[in-house]
Structure 1
Amino acid sequence: MARNRRASVINDLVHIASRLPSWASLASALISYLVLHHFADRPVQVATKPGSALPTNMADILFQPLLNVLQYAIPMAFLFGALISAVKAFSGRRLAKQYLVTPAGQNNVSKPAESHHGTENMSWQQFELLVGQAFRQAGYSVVDGGEQGPDGGVDVHLKKDGQTFLVQCKHWRARSVGVSVVRELYGVMTAAGAKGGFVVTSGDFTEEARAFANGKRISLIDGAKLDTMLRKAAQSVPEDALKPSEIHSEIVLCPRCSSPMVKRRARQGANVGQEFWGCSRFPQCRGIRN
């Protein structure tokens, strides 16, 4: 039982270290080793009272072997956590590169609803790493992985300028993300005092989800927006614009085929000279928005 408890403590420490920046875990490993080694290296003198067979400093004597173990175990836990963090960052960069060079990634701008932006063959863990890389490119400090298990709580924690941002990832291929997911993240974000939140999906959102997020410090990033973030390195999503009305002003989706739309100017008819949104797949699709 004691051995299991010690293993659990070390595992928890590794988990905490893996969620820290690599430099913080490495610094913690060095500091913990220096402090613990200082105490473990001190000789313990046995002190006794006259007429007593038991040492008066029994606690120091018993604790000394534990210090000898902890001076190596705790730093190793921090080092292992730093390694996990580095591997996640490397995996995110590798997934982003693969995303950009695959045929699905090259064609997804014109047909986002069909290709799911090159993420259809990814697991939910890989999708979270890809999302983390997108925010890393946008200038955030990224902690890949939130609660345990798929769809459990916050998936990615972000830091920027001392502020915390929470991300919920939904790798859903067949259906749009509903309002319940957005409402759940908003509640967690509010309780945690986070600066803002993001719900990221490889697909799209329902109108109810967009309506709920409107006016709140939570941004809905669909497949088209995620594609833009991955293709524009160092492009930041402004924290002061965490509103769907402003976020989606950059990418407007066609009401017919969900492809990105482009600004056009009417050349004839009653609205000649006026700007409007036209489907990027024109003339195959003739969807328009005012």
Structure 2
Amino acid sequence: MSKILDGRVAIVTGAGRGIGRAHALELARQGAKVVVNDFGVSNNGEKEDSPAHQVVAEIEALGGVAVVNGADVADFAQAEAMVQQAIDTFGGLDILVNNAGFVRDRMLVNATEDEWDAVIRVHMKGHFAPLRHAAAYWRAESKAGRPRVGRVINTTSGAGLQGSIGQVAYSAAKGGIASMTLVAAAELGRVGVTVNAIAPVAKTRMTEGAFDTSAMALPEDNSPIVAWLASEAAGHVTGRIFEIDGGLLTLESGYLHAASRDAGRRWEAAELGEVVDALIAEAPKPDPVYGA
């Protein structure tokens, strides 16, 4: 079977464990050269040794090519250096898989400012900073007459799309990533770059302990869609979000204009109750919040 990513260069953030590790291995199996990024933090964001070297060794054992990167992806300068490492080491960059993150679950009334800041930083800025520098590289290459077939795969979550009780910061961050995906897809299409996102479902250290994970998919079950979205064949797909749960692949619809009423004038506050009730009755019901 042919390898769909032969000759392509990829960065995978948070690739030392779990879903990120599985992505890095799958991209390498499909022929990509991989920058394996992992800052080395625990599930709640505490610093610890990074297993990125082990993932690189696994890739090399498969006959692939990979290098370690230890950047904090939410640090703007370190994210820039990570992108430059891919360019300097492998001659360019074609694929960015934003995956890094951790959780600090807390009910809203118990959440602290530090916990909020940490989760928003690693997920939202940790997506923005690598994407910003990769986008600048791809735009410069396009202007120089050397366009690359760029692919970005972000990582959102059902928590960001439907909400999740006890995960106010995580849900907010993942919802922001979904919106970031839409904007980046619209802006980068002109230079040949697609931007999509996945909402993975898998048994990982982030999900274990939060609820029963015995029947959940494995991390590697999420990676085939990432590899395909990273391929040149996926050029017609951008600005889309896919939930992947084992063998179940679902295209998410996101926010859509549903029911509407036009008064043809400024609304009076007192009349809006009846109008809002009619709109809610007419529109599709949203999926329930996780844990509700």
TM-score range, shorter chain: under 0.3
Structure whose alpha-carbon radius of gyration is higher = 1
Provide TM-score, normalisation by structure 2: 0.25
Provide TM-score, normalisation by structure 1: 0.25
